[in-house]
Amino acid sequence: MDYLEYDNYLGSVEFDKKEHCLKGRVQGLREESLNYKGQTLEELEKNFKEAVNRYVTKCLNDDQKPKKSYGGPLNVRLGPDLHGRAAAIAERMDRTLNSIIKEAVEMFLYEYERRQR
């Protein structure tokens, strides 16, 4: 899947066969009205940015801090065995456990996206 990026927000890009248009949704947020459409990629991107701006403005008007699509920190529950094995390998390689997990996720996504093409 392709994504749009704007002000640290990610938006999906999909083709809707039924409506014969491009559509998307701001990723990682559950709020309504964060969907957008367009007949061209340029229109879709413009509507994505407007959806993000509407969301941020609404939050600020409601004295709420706008959430970001994805902030970076992520808690992962590996279980004791997997956690211990990964930590031991990271230590042997003089790397952090975080860098090992990040590399594993990147490899998984690379393979997944390669198969989707």
| Residues of the chain predicted below pLDDT 50 | none
pLDDT value at residue 100: 93
Domain termination site, one of 32, 61, 90: 61
Q: Is 71 part of a structural domain of the chain?
A: no
In the numeric block, the tokens 């403005």 are attached to: 57
Where in the sequence is the domain holding 54, given as residue range(s)? 2-61
- Quick one: 56 and 101 in the same domain? no
Total domains in the chain come to 2
pLDDT value at residue 42: 96
pLDDT value at residue 94: 95
C-beta of residue 14 within 8 angstroms of C-beta of residue 31: no
Average pLDDT, the chain: 91
- Quick one: 57 and 98 in the same domain? no
* pLDDT tens-place string over residues 39-64: 999 999 999 999 999 999 999 999 99
Could you give the CA distance from residue 100 to residue 83 in angstroms, rounded to a whole number?
11
Q: Is 73 part of a structural domain of the chain?
A: no
Rounded to two decimals, the pTM is: 0.64
Q: Is 18 part of a structural domain of the chain?
A: yes
